[in-house]
Amino acid sequence: MSSIDDLSEAGKNAYQAFLDMRDSKHAHYDYLRAIESKYQSGGVPGPDEARKLEKLLANHDRNVLAFKTAMSGVADSDEMEILVRLMS
């Protein structure tokens, strides 16, 4: 069984970037669901809620870019395979 200890520094960075991206995605969708549930019977989110949603999405966008950049630093195919297993 492969673990994060089997990765190079670049691989560890890519895995951490994946975890950050995953967490920011969940944060964005969880807040989006909460707003949707709150306003199911009508109404729209207020400015503070809209700003928070924008910030969560912007954070996720940054994390996606960081993940893409970190993954480009992983060239070894065996290490890429380990990463895919860890991310699954």
pLDDT beyond 80 at 9: yes
Count Cβ atoms below 10 Å from residue 44 Cβ, excluding itself.
8
**Residue 39 forms part of a structural domain:** yes
Of 11-20, 23-32, 38-47, 76-85, the one with minimum mean pLDDT is: 38-47
- The domain tally of the chain equals 1
**Residue 1 forms part of a structural domain:** no
**Residue 48 forms part of a structural domain:** yes
- Confirm if 36 and 57 have CB atoms less than 8 A apart: no
**Residue 2 forms part of a structural domain:** no
Q: What is the pLDDT of residue 38?
A: 87
Please give the Cα distance from 14 to 68 (Å, whole number): 8
Of 8-12, 27-31, 32-36, 41-45, the one with minimum mean pLDDT is: 41-45
Which residues constitute the domain of residue 60?
Answer: 7-87
Alpha helix positions (H), 1-88: 9-38, 47-72, 77-87
